[in-house]
């Protein structure tokens, strides 16, 4: 079986990939994630997912390298990880009653053949109208300060939603497994 390498240090992506029950290694790629001028969020996540995979290609020949990157977009503005309680509070207040789109870039790079598959998936979250008290209780309970959008959909964060829409809920967490399985199958890896 070809060796799989996840180009990420994210524990969330690592947990998601382990669901496929395939052996894989993880390495953190060293890339500059600064957006280019006039680059759309979709162009950004596609480029970064590809650059993450390419950053490890030379040191990992004969691998299938998985790169992924995500942007949370509110209106026309990318919102990142809050890192602090105050910023998380501000993010959730600004999302209250609105739709937040998650764009996830995904790349599968076959270093043996030099072939790559690149895609971008959209998954949207529609927030309930949230009170400041609800937001505060949630943030204290789950402390999602390392999550774009300031919530963990796989946990209590689901209580903040009115609805979700999209083809692959795992893309919300950062690694779209449905599309990844299609890519792996086309690269000769049989899943399951």
Q: In a structure prediction context, what are the per-residue pLDDT tens digits for the chain, which is 192 residues long?
A: 779 999 999 998 999 999 999 999 999 999 999 999 999 999 999 999 999 999 999 999 999 999 999 999 999 899 989 999 999 999 999 999 999 999 999 999 999 999 999 999 999 999 999 999 999 999 999 999 999 899 998 899 999 999 999 999 999 988 999 999 999 999 999 998
- According to CATH, the topology of domain 3-186 is Maf protein (3.90.950)
Tell me the whole-structure pTM to 2 decimals. 0.91
Write the burial class of residue 40 (CB in 10 Å: 0-12 exposed, 13-18 middle, 19+ buried): middle
The pLDDT value given to residue 99 = 97
Per-residue pLDDT, 192: 86
Query: Which residue in the block uniquely carries the two structure tokens 């764009």?
Result: 103
- Residue 2: the pLDDT is 79
Active site residues: 69
Q: What is the predicted pLDDT for the residue at 110?
A: 97
Query: Are the beta carbons of 55 and 27 closer than 8 angstroms?
Result: no
Residues 6+ apart with CB under 8 A from 111: 57, 60, 61, 62, 63, 64, 65
What's the rounded Cα separation, in Å, for the pair 9 and 130?
32
Position 49 scores a pLDDT of 97
């Amino acid at each position: 079986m070809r060796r799989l390498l996840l180009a990420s240090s994210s524990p969330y992506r690592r947990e998601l990939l382990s669901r496929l029950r395939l052996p894989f290694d993880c390495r953190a790629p060293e890339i500059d994630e600064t957006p280019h001028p006039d680059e759309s969020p979709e162009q950004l996540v596609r480029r970064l997912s590809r650059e993450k995979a390419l950053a490890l290609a030379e040191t990992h020949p004969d691998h299938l390298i998985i790169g992924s990157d995500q942007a949370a977009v509110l209106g026309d503005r990318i919102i990142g990880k809050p890192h602090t309680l105050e910023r998380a509070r501000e993010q959730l207040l600004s999302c209250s009653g609105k739709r937040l789109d998650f764009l996830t870039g995904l790349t599968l790079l076959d270093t043996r053949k030099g072939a790559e598959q690149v895609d971008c998936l959209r998954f949207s979250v529609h927030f309930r109208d949230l009170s400041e008290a609800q937001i505060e209780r949630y943030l204290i309970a789950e402390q999602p300060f390392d999550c774009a959008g300031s919530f963990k959909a796989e946990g209590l964060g689901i209580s903040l939603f009115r609805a979700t829409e999209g083809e692959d809920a795992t893309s919300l967490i950062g690694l779209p497994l449905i599309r990844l399985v299609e890519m792996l199958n086309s690269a000769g890896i049989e899943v399951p």
